[in-house]
């Protein structure tokens, strides 16, 4: 395999001397891709059936299902991690894991929809999200102002709720041992609760100065939990992995979740919208309390803080103002510091995987860390 020289540092591949080898690395890659075919099919079939059932209730209900379905997709990272964990720990029933893995994507969709409502964003992956879609539809009907805003809030909240309930329904439909499925449902509920805690701190941070927030804690509770720890844990649960695996998966998931969020926050300011589908103004306009912003305030001088005070949090911030903020971030060394933190978290994730997880799974997860480091700027 190639060495990675991206933002998260060079790839290291020490072998595991403590974990069994349920599958060889090449075999695991092949089997994950094969299982993902069934997982994607399960997800599409579920959404299609729910849209059809909704149409029998009311056209408006079917429209909401259609809008939610339109938010599902992308790289399917969370289902893929679920499948990899399951197969990496020796699971063999693809049908049993498919619905569990697909449920992780619906949970992700629910979190994105609600997150967009909280952030007042109407674009996701370069296209209108649920509220953006509904705004265009309402405008075509001549509905504007407060009446439209009320409908948009309803669509976003109810759409997210619909995706969340669907995640639990799909998970509960797994053909795995019923007792294990119950445990998986409980695990998903804990994942949601922990993510809510992170979201609450994230939203509450808007009222605090950048010196008073803890963005890394938010990343652990929010991004790491539902994107990495939860999917890996539920895959291991269905595979009847040894109890000792839980702590190692949590450690890997927390580390890579922090690294992922740090990279994401940098892309939110310095990235290429054409490559990422994400605005480089929205986080600055919102004054989002990221680790990048916290470190910039901490490391810059009074002149730099004056620039930040003038531009960060300005809803009308333009490209010129954003460029001024970026220059402060660069001169202060804050971006370099964030990159170092991300690389350190990625190294920790690799070490955890290679030292404590089955060799094939460790290799798979290490490659995933590499891909994270190569995200577009």
Q: What is the CATH number of the domain that holds 67?
A: 1.10.600.10
32: in domain:
yes
* Beta-sheet pairing, 123-124 with 127-128: antiparallel
297: in domain:
yes
pLDDT of residue 1: 36
Task: Tell me if 134 sits within 8 A of 152, measured CB to CB.
Answer: yes
Total domains present in the chain = 1
**73 torsion bin: left (phi>0), alpha (psi -120 to 50), beta (else):** left
pLDDT of residue 23: 57
Per-residue pLDDT tens for 103-151?
999 999 999 999 999 988 888 887 899 999 999 999 999 999 999 999 9
Domain carrying residue 127: 25-373
164: in domain:
yes
pLDDT of residue 159: 97
pLDDT of residue 108: 97
Q: What is the pTM of this model?
A: 0.90
pLDDT of residue 162: 98
17: in domain:
no
Segments of the chain scoring below 70 in pLDDT: 1-25, 375-377
Burial of 49 (0-12, 13-18, 19+ CB in 10 A): exposed
3: in domain:
no
- Please name the residues in contact with 298: beta carbons below 8 A apart, sequence gap of 6 or more: 210, 211, 334
335: in domain:
yes
122: in domain:
yes
20: in domain:
no
């Amino acid at each position: 395999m190639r060495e990675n020289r991206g933002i998260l540092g060079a790839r290291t591949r020490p072998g595991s001397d403590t974990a069994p080898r349920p599958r060889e690395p090449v075999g695991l890659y092949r089997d994950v891709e094969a299982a993902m075919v069934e997982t994607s099919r399960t997800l599409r079939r579920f959404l299609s059936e729910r849209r059809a059932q909704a149409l029998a209730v009311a056209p408006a209900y079917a429209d909401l299902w259609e809008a939610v379905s339109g938010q599902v997709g992308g790289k399917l990272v969370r289902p893929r991690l679920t499948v990899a964990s399951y197969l990496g720990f020796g699971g063999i029933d693809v049908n049993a894991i498919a619905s569990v893995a697909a449920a992780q994507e619906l949970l992700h969709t629910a979190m994105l929809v609600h997150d967009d409502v909280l952030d007042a964003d109407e674009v996701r992956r370069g296209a209108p999200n649920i509220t953006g879609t509904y705004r265009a539809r309402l405008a075509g009907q001549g509905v504007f102002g407060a009446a439209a805003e009320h409908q948009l809030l309803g669509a976003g909240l109810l759409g997210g709720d619909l995706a969340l309930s669907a995640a639990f329904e799909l998970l509960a439909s797994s053909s795995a041992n019923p007792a294990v499925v119950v445990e998986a449902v409980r695990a998903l509920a804990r994942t949601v609760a922990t993510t809510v805690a992170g979201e609450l701190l994230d939203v509450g941070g808007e009222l605090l100065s950048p010196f008073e927030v803890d963005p890394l804690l938010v990343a652990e509770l929010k991004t790491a939990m539902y994107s990495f720890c939860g999917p890996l844990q539920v895959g291991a649960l269905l595979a009847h992995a040894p109890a000792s695996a839980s702590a190692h998966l949590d450690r890997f998931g927390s580390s890579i979740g922090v690294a992922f969020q740090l990279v994401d926050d940098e892309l939110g300011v310095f990235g290429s919208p054409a490559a990422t589908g994400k605005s480089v103004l929205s986080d600055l306009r919102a004054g989002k309390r990221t680790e990048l912003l916290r470190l910039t305030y901490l490391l810059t001088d009074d002149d730099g803080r004056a620039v930040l005070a003038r531009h960060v949090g300005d809803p009308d911030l333009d490209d010129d103002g954003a460029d001024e903020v970026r220059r402060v971030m660069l001169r202060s060394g804050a971006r370099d510091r964030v990159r170092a933190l991300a690389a350190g978290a990625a190294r920790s994730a690799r070490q955890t995987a290679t030292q404590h997880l089955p060799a094939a799974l460790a290799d798979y997860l290490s490659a995933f860390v590499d891909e994270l480091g190569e995200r577009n700027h």
